[in-house]
């Protein structure tokens, strides 16, 4: 399986506020990324990470900027189809 190495997350005012609309925080996302269970490629070559944090699955969409550096596009609770990817 291909591995994704994330060394740096890119945050700005827009994406911090955007993930808040989905009930998440920067801290939750940064901790969830430490526990990637699965991923898939999405729209515009973005990567959808399915992560687990405190028993909840979170879908985090990132856009690769450089090796190891990813911009957070959005994040939300993972849906049933995404959770099945972790099995």
Q: What is the pTM of this model?
A: 0.91
Beta bridge partners of 64: 70
Tokens in use for 65? 């900027």
Query: What pairing do the DSSP bridges indicate for beta strands 8-10 and 69-77?
Result: parallel
Residue 64: alpha-carbon gap to chain centroid: 12
Nearby residues of 78 by Cβ (< 8 Å), 6 or more positions away? 50, 57, 58, 59
- The predicted-structure confidence for 16-47, as pLDDT tens digits, reads as follows 999 999 999 999 999 999 999 999 998 888 99
The class that CATH gives domain 8-84 is alpha beta
Say what the pLDDT of residue 23 is.
96
């Amino acid at each position: 399986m291909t591995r994704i190495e994330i060394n740096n997350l890119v945050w700005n005012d827009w994406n911090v506020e955007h993930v808040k609309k989905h009930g998440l925080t920067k801290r939750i996302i940064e901790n969830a990324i430490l526990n990637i269970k699965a991923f898939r490629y999405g729209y515009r070559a973005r990567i959808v990470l399915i992560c687990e944090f405190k028993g909840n699955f979170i879908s985090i969409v990132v856009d690769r900027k450089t090796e190891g550096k990813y911009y957070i596009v959005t994040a939300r609770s993972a849906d049933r189809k995404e959770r099945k990817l972790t099995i």
